[in-house]
């Protein structure tokens, strides 16, 4: 049997088929564009969740030695729009980290040649005179990553102090030893050094010193030999926990390695008040050197 198709019918079928395909193609294009638009809308900027209400920051901006600018609460809470702070303390919107940027300038604090973009704990916002002792105790937890850091002429990364416990004299102690300010040595300095975490503490230079007055002099203390954790953190995120109590200090890296200090030096240190510091205390004066440190979490409890 021979079947003959009407030419007009063939044209009609072809036209309808082509129209259907074109409609489906146009529909797919529209649907894909809508999906792309939804994906763009879902992409949100991440802001730091670190509570800065009990921290002040010092930056490498200001007038010479002892003239570095510090910003206290509540002004520090507006760091994202503060034109002075923005070059040194800002949000990384892709990761939600708070970034501390430092490089050598002439603006330093009184007792150092190095620049810093660093937080200083204030138990009472805006007041440096209320601090804590080891007897009262304290816990610091921080999640950190080195973002960028320059190298020296030998190809080694420049060192950065990322966390500290700093000592402080009370006004009575300051007057007792005739010192012009309340500064005392730092009991704890935690470094990022060539991709590893290094811990340094203070020990008595003269172990026979027994009186409180004798312990208050900066000259009574010196650095220990230091301790370096085995794990190489490089530029990855890592967690540091610092726990202090009467006569004891424990520093941990990623809850896996622990450095425990409970000797006579720590026990003697109980004479001082203290405060935590966190950020980027940059340890170089090399021209063109710099570092950027990311803080994802920072918590303190007493």
Q: How many angstroms separate the CA atoms of 265 and 207, rounded? A: 8
Residues 29, 113 share a domain: no
How far does CA 29 lie from the centroid of its chain? 46
Are residues 198 and 227 in contact, defined by beta-carbon separation less than 8 angstroms? yes
* 48 within domain boundaries: no
What is the enclosing helix (H) or strand (E) of 51? none
Residues 75, 122 share a domain: yes
Residues 148, 71 share a domain: yes
Domain of 203?
55-301
CATH no. for residue 90? 2.60.120.200
Residues 86, 34 share a domain: no
Select from 112, 111, 118 the least CA-distant residue to 89. 118
* 204 within domain boundaries: yes
pTM across the whole model: 0.86
Residues 117, 70 share a domain: yes
Are residues 286 and 278 in contact, defined by beta-carbon separation less than 8 angstroms? no
Q: Token pair for residue 294?
A: 């990311």
Would you write out the chain's pLDDT as a tens digit for each of its 302 residues?
Answer: 444 545 554 444 444 445 454 445 545 555 666 555 555 555 678 899 999 999 999 999 999 999 999 999 999 999 999 999 999 999 999 999 999 999 999 999 988 999 999 999 999 999 999 999 999 999 999 999 999 999 999 999 999 999 999 999 999 999 999 999 999 999 999 999 999 999 999 999 988 888 999 999 999 999 999 999 999 999 999 999 999 999 999 999 999 999 999 999 999 999 999 999 999 999 999 999 999 999 999 999 99
pLDDT at 27: 55
Peptide bond preceding 74 in cis form (omega within 30 of 0): yes
* 103 within domain boundaries: yes
How far does CA 19 lie from the centroid of its chain? 61
Residues 178, 34 share a domain: no
């Amino acid at each position: 049997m021979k079947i003959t198709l009407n030419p007009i019918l063939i044209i009609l079928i072809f036209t309808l088929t082509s129209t259907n395909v074109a409609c489906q193609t146009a529909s797919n294009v529209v649907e894909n564009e809508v999906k792309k638009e939804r994906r763009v809308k879902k992409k949100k900027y991440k802001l730091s969740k670190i509570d800065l209400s009990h921290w002040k920051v010092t930056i490498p901006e200001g007038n010479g030695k002892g003239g570095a600018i510090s910003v206290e609460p509540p002004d520090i809470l507006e760091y994202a729009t503060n034109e002075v702070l923005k070059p040194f303390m800002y949000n990384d919107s892709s990761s939600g980290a708070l970034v501390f940027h430092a490089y050598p300038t002439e603006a330093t604090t009184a007792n150092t040649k190095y620049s810093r973009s660093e937080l200083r704990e204030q138990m009472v916002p805006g007041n440096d005179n209320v601090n804590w002792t080891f007897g009262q105790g304290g816990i610091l937890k921080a999640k950190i990553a080195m973002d960028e850091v320059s190298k020296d002429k030998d190809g080694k990364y420049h060192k950065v102090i990322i966390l500290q416990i700093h000592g402080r004299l009370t006004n009575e102690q300051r007057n007792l030893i005739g010192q012009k300010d309340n500064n005392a040595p730092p009991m704890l300095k935690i470094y990022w050094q060539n991709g590893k975490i290094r811990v340094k503490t203070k020990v008595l230079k003269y172990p026979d010193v027994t009186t409180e007055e004798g312990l208050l002099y900066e000259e009574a203390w010196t650095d220990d030999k230091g301790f370096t954790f085995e794990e190489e953190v490089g530029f990855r995120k890592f967690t540091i926990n610092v726990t202090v109590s009467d006569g004891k200090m424990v520093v941990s890296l990623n809850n896996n390695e622990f450095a425990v200090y409970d000797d006579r030096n720590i026990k003697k240190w109980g004479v001082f008040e203290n405060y935590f510091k966190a950020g980027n205390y940059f340890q170089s004066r090399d021209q063109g050197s710099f570092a950027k440190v990311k803080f994802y979490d920072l918590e303190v409890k007493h």
